[in-house]
Amino acid sequence: MKARRAAFLGIMAAVLLICCREESALPAVAPAEISETKYVALTFDDGPRANTTGRLLDGLRERGASATFFLIGRQIAGNEDLVLRMKVEGHQVGNHTWDHVTLQGKPAAVVQKEICRTDNAIRNILGDGSYWVRPPYGLLNKNQRCCFSTPLVHWSVDPEDWKLKNAKKVVDAVLKKVQPGNIILLHDIYATSVDAAFQIVDTLEAEGYEFVTVEELLALYGITPQAGVFYTDAREITE
Ligand code: NI
């Protein structure tokens, strides 16, 4: 009885194996579709800001798009719920100093205070983690970079949304330039930039783009991020 049962199971296993093989051989279309996915990272500086950041998070969630937020430390108090939502909803949270001061050329003690105070404020909400840094205006001297314990983030597409304050113009500026692997700079403190972000996501998702965090983008391009190194684009590391 046992032998017959074993033989039966053996035959069934063979049938299953054949079925699996046939199934995996059938859809030749799927791998081609996957390789055509274009990845891009939206980044938002200078938040959180209650109304605009909340609306942005709602819209990104509806669209299944991830983004990266570089927060100003002194704006975190009172907006803890938004910071928590960022992490829970799959976004990357980063550090944009406490007071939005230019760090370039500043004494190490000033840089450390600006970064650590913000890092602590983020940790108090989100717990331990590596909260990457984007210095205000992207400025740092070369000899200052070694002080950082996280990767540093620049951008490769800058529509100057803070200057335009016009959703259509911001959308046009981004769509004219965007390519897979880009890091796009926007600010979530302007309603026009939030509107622009939604149109950018809708348009590019229809063209096969997927919106990922900066950390995910670099990983998808096989890049291992290093502390104190600026990342400008997944296809081009500053230094
Ligand atoms: Ni800024």
Options 161, 187, 188, 233, the catalytic residue: 187
pLDDT at 139: 97
Average pLDDT over residues 11-15: 41
Domain annotation covers residue 86 = yes
CATH number at residue 233: 3.20.20.370
Give residue 36's pLDDT.
77
Per-residue pLDDT of 67-92, as tens digits, reads 999 999 999 999 999 999 999 999 99
Q: Round to whole Å and give the CA distance between 40 and 181.
A: 5
Q: Is 187 a catalytic residue?
A: yes
Determine, yes or no, domain membership for 124.
yes
- The answer to whether residue 230 sits within a structural domain is yes
Cα(91) to centroid(ligand 1), Å: 18
The pLDDT assigned to 4 comes to 52
Residue 26 forms part of a structural domain: no
User: Tens digit of pLDDT for each residue in 216-229?
Assistant: 999 999 999 999 99
What would the DSSP string read from start to end of 167-228? Answer: HHHHHHHHHHH--TT-EEEEETT-HHHHHHHHHHHHHHHHTTEEE--HHHHHHHTT----TT
Boundaries of domain holding 118? 38-238
User: Is residue 28 in a domain?
Assistant: no
Q: Is residue 136 part of a domain?
A: yes
Q: 207 and 178 in contact (C-beta within 8 Å)?
A: no
In a domain, 7, yes or no: no
Question: How far does the centroid of ligand 1 lie from the alpha carbon of residue 61, in Å?
Answer: 24
Full-model pTM: 0.85
Q: Would you call 45 a catalytic residue per the annotation?
A: yes
The predicted pLDDT at position 14 comes to 41
Cα–Cα distance for residue pair 114/190, rounded to 1 Å: 24
**Average pLDDT of the segment spanning 162-181:** 98
Distance between Cα 124 and ligand 1 center (Å): 22
Say which range, 6-10, 22-26, 72-76, 84-88, has the weakest mean pLDDT. 22-26
For ligand 1, the distance from its centroid to the CA atom of residue 75, given in whole angstroms, is: 12
Instruction: Report the pLDDT value the prediction gives residue 16, as an integer from 0 to 100.
Output: 36
Span 162-167, mean pLDDT? 98
Does 180 reside within a domain? yes
How many domains, in total, are found in the chain? 1
pLDDT of 178 = 98
| C-alpha 36 to ligand 1 mean position (Å) | 33
pLDDT value of position 229: 96
Rounded-to-integer distance, Cα 227 and Cα 126, Å? 21
